[in-house]
Amino acid sequence: MSVSTPESTPIAVNDIGSAEDFLAAVDATIKNFDDGDLVEGTIVKVDRDEVLLDIGYKTEGVIPSRELSIRHDANPDEVVNVGDTVEALVLQKEDKEGRLILSKKRAQYERAWGSIEKIKDEDGVVTGSVIEVVKGGLIVDIGLRGFLPASLVEMRRVRDLAPYIGQQIEAKIIELDKNRNNVVLSRRAFLEQTQSEVRSSFLTALQPGQVRKGTVSSIVNFGAFVDLGGVDGLVHVSELSWKHIDHPNEVVSVGQEVEVEVLDIDMDRERVS
């Protein structure tokens, strides 16, 4: 008979001697863990206050319920099930009962942080689920808790944030500080980038002389702006009618569908007329 240490070195019972020596050798395996180590095991019990994780040694590791998820007050039964294989980070080698105290959420945090840093360095986009409404914004699960300020949720300020709970959203990372455990996101920056790419692609495909359908989005003294599908084109008052008119609202109104001919494209200013 033999038992494996964390380094997978078999300990032969016959080489140890007494039962007390054997138990002492087994107990010593737990001492090889250090705070901050990552371990993997199987969930063997789920209680309201804690979860037991079989990591193959003398005693099961304990994950307090508060260390299960980045969601506050998460129900353990909704996070893990008996039989699940999970990774956890060692918080304390032994508590007063000699148990190994672990954290699933901090292991998840450590794994996620490297990916988040890489995405930030590459000016990439993160995708996550909105899990909480907090003062001043939203909390987004991106493997860790990302804060999305209310002013950066949409292109315009949103008053009611509750409908965003449970939604999958994409955002840019605008602030990252591991020491302060601070990750700030901007969905508005993502939307602006996306719209800019759409406008650029649209304008590249547009050619003078083309006839396009659109909707009048606004009216000013010198003409009318027509939404051509994400890009507004200006129809000068002189091009609105064959006859002379004093004001654009004599021939068009906001919301009216019209057909226009493209005369000029200004790529630098992303403007169509």
Show Cβ contacts of residue 51 under 8 Å, excluding neighbours closer than 6 positions: 43, 45, 62, 63, 65, 68, 76, 80, 104
Architecture of domain 2-104: Beta Barrel (2.40)
Tens digit of pLDDT per residue, the chain (273 long)?
A: 333 344 444 444 445 456 566 555 555 554 566 777 888 888 988 988 888 988 876 778 899 999 888 888 788 888 888 988 988 888 887 777 777 889 898 888 888 898 999 999 999 999 999 999 999 999 999 989 999 999 999 988 888 999 999 999 999 999 999 888 899 999 999 988 887 777 777 777 777 887 888 888 888 888 888 887 767 788 888 888 888 888 888 888 888 888 887 777 664 444 454
> Which of 251, 248, 254, 252 lies closest to 236, judged by CA?
248
What architecture (CATH level 2) is domain 208-272?
Beta Barrel (2.40)
- Examine domains 2-104 and 208-272 and report if their fold is the same: yes
User: SS3 helix, strand, coil % of the chain, rounded to 5?
Assistant: 25, 35, 35
User: How is the chain split into domains, by residue range?
Assistant: 2-104, 123-192, 208-272
Query: How many of the other CB atoms lie within 10 Å of CB of 177?
Result: 9
Q: Which CATH number fits domain 123-192: 3.40.50.10190, 3.90.1150.10, 2.40.50.140, 1.10.10.10?
A: 2.40.50.140
**Backbone angles phi and psi of 104, in degrees to 5:** -75, -40
Contact 132, 71 (CB under 8 A): yes
